[in-house]
Amino acid sequence: MDRSLLLRIAGAVVVVTMVMLAAVWYWRGGPGVAPATPTTKLVIEISGGFAYVAPTGTDNHLEIAYLNDFVLWKDANKNNTMDPDEIEFDDLNGNDRRDPGEPDMCNVNQIGTELKVIRGTIIGHDPSAQSLPASREFNLDKAVVKFPALEAANIPLTIGNLNWPPPAANPVNPDAEAEWVDMVPALLKKHTASAIDPNWRTMVNGRVVLPGGLIKAAIPSSPIFKKARFDFKANHSFKFKAAMTDRTKYTVDVPAGTVEIQLSGATNGFTKLVIQPQGNTVELSLRGMHDLGSAIPGDGAPLKDFCAFYQLMQSRPDKKDFLVPHYIAAPGGTGGAGGVPSPGFFCPGDWF
């Protein structure tokens, strides 16, 4: 074998070795970088009358709170007890006296909130001796829900849009999800002298804490609301018209191969759930349930339970300034009863 051939072979071996080493170096993320952390896509479909509390300053914690029962009353005799004649009523005839047929101004009975696993497998839970529900559905009564992997990740929070109310003509194309981004109400935008009560965390039933990620409003949960509008009235006088949605969607990449959910204070007794993704995704649904009674409002009827959000306001507006949405069915095309809504069922949240 001549010398030049040997040199060529040696050279080729060196080049191949270097290329392989470089590939390994590149694959491992370069100098000083640990192997890539697995991530799991977490999707939470949210529907119902939740209080969405946005962080202030540089904080990235979005909190989604489920409310307690609420009756609007005035402690006239200062005995710290709600007496029957202290319940605020809707003074329909304006005579300052409660007459038969004049309803409570705000009396909302909350049934509860449920978290359900839609995609993924529950591979661990605490206490382990407690049986998991066959429905993979967890009543969140009194629960504060956290995701430990997100707490440590310092992921920025992106909120779709908070320009509320939108123009009455929007959404122009109700099938375009992007046109629904500012369709979750934000009552404080209309009550600028009020603010969320600093003690709100103690005033709600429970909350889901989401550090970072993307939340945006989505197309309503029923097609009949896609083309409908709501007349917002105060003291029965029209103020403005807007579309609303009862659904939002939260997405985030969790820096872990599974999604761990921590529950504290939950009446259901669970303190931890560990969910293995399906594919690369864990999907949860967070639903607010509602006590609808036995009558379903029709076109023009108020969403009477919407007033529950006023319980979280400091410097609460006078009851005559409460904004009450009234359902306005889309003209034509609703047919039969398909266009008849239910305030309990169609239960939008509110941004604070």
Partner 1 sequence: MKDTLPRLLGVIAIAALSNADVRAATPIQKHVHVATSSLPFVVAVVSDHYTNQGEFDSDVDNFFKYGLLAHDYYDDHAAELDIYSFYAPLTAGQQSDYAFDVDTPSQNCVLSWSDASGTDGTLAKLLAVVSGVNPDRIVVIGDHEYNIGCTSGKWTYVAKDAAGTDVLPHEMGHGFGGLKDEWFFEINRGVDHPGIPDSETRNCFDPRAPGTIPPWLTPPAAAKFPGAGSVAGCDFFELNAVHPFDHLVNGHNYCLMGASHDAEFCPVCHELMTEEFRLRDPENPDVTNPDAQIPAPPTGLRIVKTAFVQPTPAPGTAKPTPKGAPPPSGVILKPVPAKPILQLVVAFDPRTGKITPKKGFSITARFAPSHRRLGEWAYEIVNPTLKPEDEIVEVGVFPSNLFRASSYQGGVAHQTTTPQTTDVTIQIPDLPTDFAKTGTPPVIIRIYRLRPNVTDKLITPAVFRRLKSDGDAERVGPDLTAKDILGVM
> For partner 1, which is the closer residue by CB, 116 or 191?
116
**Residue 71 touching partner 1 (CB under 8 A):** no
In the set 221, 235, 268, 271, which binds partner 1 (CB under 8 A)? 221
**Residue 103 touching partner 1 (CB under 8 A):** no
Spell 294-321 as b/e; 16+ CB within 10 A means b. eeebeeebbbbbbbbbbbbbeebbebee
Per-residue mark of binding to partner 1, 26-45 (x: CB under 8 A)? -------------------x
Smallest distance, Å, CB 294 to partner 1?
5
CA atoms within 13 A on the CB side of 228: 28
Cα 73 off chain centre by: 28
**Residue 217 touching partner 1 (CB under 8 A):** no
**Residue 205 touching partner 1 (CB under 8 A):** no
Given the rule CB under 8 A, which of 24-32, 154-162, 192-200, 214-222 is the region that contacts partner 1? 214-222
Residue type, 144: V
Q: Which residues are CB-contacts of 150 (< 8 A; sequence separation ≥ 6)? A: 210, 211, 212, 213, 252, 254
**Residue 98 touching partner 1 (CB under 8 A):** no
Given the rule CB under 8 A, which of 21-29, 127-135, 209-217, 309-317 is the region that contacts partner 1? 127-135
Residue 187 · residue 244 · CB < 8 Å: no
In the set 206, 344, 348, 349, which binds partner 1 (CB under 8 A)? 344
H helix or E strand, kind and range, residue 139: strand 137-139
**Residue 261 touching partner 1 (CB under 8 A):** no
Could you give the CA distance from residue 103 to residue 165 in angstroms, rounded to a whole number?
Answer: 28
12: helix, strand or coil:
helix
Phi, psi of 73, rounded to the nearest 5 degrees: -145, 165
DSSP state of 68: P
Q: Which residues are CB-contacts of 209 (< 8 A; sequence separation ≥ 6)? A: 61, 62, 63, 144, 145, 146, 147
Given the rule CB under 8 A, which of 14-22, 70-78, 142-150, 335-343 is the region that contacts partner 1? 335-343
Smallest distance, Å, CB 245 to partner 1?
11
Strands 157-159, 121-126: pairing kind:
unpaired
**Residue 116 touching partner 1 (CB under 8 A):** yes
In the set 157, 274, 328, 340, which binds partner 1 (CB under 8 A)? 340
Given the rule CB under 8 A, which of 54-62, 78-86, 295-303, 311-319 is the region that contacts partner 1? 295-303
Chain residues in the site for partner 1 (CB under 8 A): 45, 47, 111-112, 114, 116-119, 133-137, 218-219, 221-224, 226, 247, 278-279, 285, 287, 289-299, 301, 333-342, 344-346
